Amino acid sequence: MAKKTVADIDVRGRKVLMRCDFNVPLDDDRNITSDDRIVKALPTITSVLDGGGALILMSHLGRPGGQKDEKFSLTPVAKRLSELLGKDVFFAGDCVGAEAKEKARALQPGDCMLLENLRFHKEETIKDKAAKEDAQLRKAKDDFAQELADIADVYVDDAFGTAHRDNASMYTVPMAMEGKPRVIGFLIEKELKFLGETLSNPERPFVAILGGAKVSDKIGVIENLIGKVDRIIIGGAMAYTFLKGRGKSIGKSLCEDDFVDKGQELLDQAADAGCEVVLPVDHCVVRKVEAGAPHRTAVGDIEPGFQAVDIGPMAAQNFAGKIADAKTIVWNGPMGIFEMPPFDKGTNAVALAVAAATEKGARSIIGGGDSASAVEKLGVQEKISHVSTGGGASLEFLEGKKFKCLEILDEK
């Protein structure tokens, strides 16, 4: 997907509307607990400002449900961005309306402004399917998008975290700006480069590690990867849907009964394709899921009344061994309830194994979300080749889905 970037256009004297992903975590006092998403947007931001453009930033934060809610205001982001840039970032109290238009009009080359949370307006998240079926919804979404489009001369998309969504700011706005430059930022360029090159031209052995709760969320990914990877390692609660299909007793571990047969189909497909599938051989189990709960290791079958909350020590060692010789690694999803120690041991073991393989020359990609949190918590993120900023987006990319919000942007 060879798209033009901000480096391919002249922004001097132009108003540039840039979609970012500033969906940062906040504590109860609305302090930013991680500014990683802001920091990662800085290369594109500074490129526009240094190039003489006037920059208008837009983003969502949380899920305010289409109504203004101070808990989800982007004011902490504007403050942190001002600190990082060493200059004032103007803030508009809404993303559309008279104030936003007036402040955008007054911007001078090198100025930067952040609009208030896009999701304070329900029009931002109206799905295209609903809009096509309802003329009133379509008009509301189009009018909202047109207001945003009218304040700028250039559109830049640098929000990979929402690249799989048909939000107005991601798709309807650039559609309304047809004829004007519509490009990607450096962050999306990096994501497409790493994910695209990894899937299309991997060095082998190519190992995929999948975890998380639901097989149903990963069926498309597994089907797409079976013909591409040499080995798929499966942990997390989703493993028990596969294990139940293999005749194992799983106690009261999470299982999607409706997908047991599909799980066996996938295992058969993998066997036919010569793709090794590795499942946990032992498990950390508890009677009750809570912090500090008494736990033990179950080898093979899990007794009634017990629930698996992490892979066991033998599985952790086995998974690490299967990762050690990899030259290309893609990881999406934890091995257990990693946010509740000591049930983070399996996820930590995988994170350390991926980091070690990377240090030996493997290319590793972590698909955002919980996996990214795990490597950050362990302090090994700098040893990973690429940590994606988009959990859901990277998953859909691995599934082979097209992102229509990127397809409409300018080709090189």
Annotated active-site residue 103? The verdict is no
Catalytic residue among 214, 327, 377, 383: 214
Query: 163-211 pLDDT, tens per residue?
Result: 988 999 999 999 999 999 999 999 999 988 888 888 888 999 999 999 9
b/e burial code for range 312-344 (CB count within 10 A of at least 16 → b): beebbebbbebbeebbbbbbbbbbbbbeeeebb
Q: Are residues 185 and 209 in the same domain?
A: no
- Report the candidate in 311, 390, 386, 379 with the shortest Cα–Cα distance to residue 344: 311
Q: Are residues 356 and 298 in the same domain?
A: yes
- Report the candidate in 393, 408, 401 with the shortest Cα–Cα distance to residue 163: 393
Indicate the pTM of the whole model.
0.86
* Number of folded domains that form the chain: 2
Q: What is the bridge-based pairing of β-strands 206-210 and 15-19?
A: unpaired
Look at residue 208 and tell me if it is in a domain. Answer: yes
Annotated active-site residue 93? The verdict is no
Q: Tell me the pLDDT of the chain averaged across its residues.
A: 94
Structure confidence at residue 2 as a pLDDT band (50, 70, 90): confident
Residue-level pLDDT at 378: 87
Q: Are residues 240 and 366 in the same domain?
A: yes
Read off the DSSP letter of residue 121. Answer: S
Q: Are residues 171 and 305 in the same domain?
A: no
Burial class of residue 149 (count of CB atoms within 10 Å of its CB; 0-12, 13-18, 19+): buried
How confident is the model over 128-152, as a mean pLDDT? 94
Look at residue 290 and tell me if it is in a domain. Answer: yes
Burial class of residue 26 (count of CB atoms within 10 Å of its CB; 0-12, 13-18, 19+): middle
**Is the per-residue pLDDT at 1 higher than 60?**
no
Q: Are residues 161 and 275 in the same domain?
A: no
- Report the candidate in 196, 62, 170 with the shortest Cα–Cα distance to residue 116: 62
Look at residue 35 and tell me if it is in a domain. Answer: yes
Catalytic residue among 235, 369, 390, 391: 369
Look at residue 411 and tell me if it is in a domain. Answer: no
Q: Are residues 302 and 236 in the same domain?
A: yes
Contacts of 328 (CB under 8 A, 6+ apart): 198, 202, 203, 204, 205, 206, 207, 362, 363, 364
Residue-level pLDDT at 197: 81
Annotated active-site residue 379? The verdict is no
Q: Are residues 254 and 326 in the same domain?
A: yes
Residue-level pLDDT at 101: 97
Q: Are residues 186 and 207 in the same domain?
A: no
Look at residue 195 and tell me if it is in a domain. Answer: no
Weakest-pLDDT range from 55-64, 210-219, 350-359:
210-219
Catalytic residue among 287, 392, 401, 404: 392
Cα atoms in the Cβ-side hemisphere of radius 13 Å centred on 250: 25
Element (H, E) at 277: strand 276-278
CATH code at 234? 3.40.50.1260
Q: Are residues 220 and 170 in the same domain?
A: no
Annotated active-site residue 19? The verdict is no
The span from the CA of 63 to the CA of 72, in Å, is: 8
Range of the domain at 221: 202-398
**Is the per-residue pLDDT at 368 higher than 70?**
no
Catalytic residue among 15, 19, 37, 322: 37
Q: Are residues 143 and 221 in the same domain?
A: no
How confident is the model over 73-101, as a mean pLDDT? 98
Look at residue 196 and tell me if it is in a domain. Answer: no
Query: 321-347 pLDDT, tens per residue?
Result: 999 999 999 999 999 999 899 999 999
**Is the per-residue pLDDT at 130 higher than 70?**
yes
Q: Are residues 281 and 185 in the same domain?
A: no
Q: 10 Å Cβ neighbour count for 146?
A: 16
Contacts of 44 (CB under 8 A, 6+ apart): 6, 18, 156, 158, 185, 186, 187
Q: Are residues 209 and 148 in the same domain?
A: no
Q: Could you give the C-alpha distances from 53 to 9, 65, 153, 158, 354, in angstroms and in order?
A: 11, 33, 10, 16, 41
Q: What percent of the chain has pLDDT over 70?
A: 100
How confident is the model over 405-411, as a mean pLDDT? 95
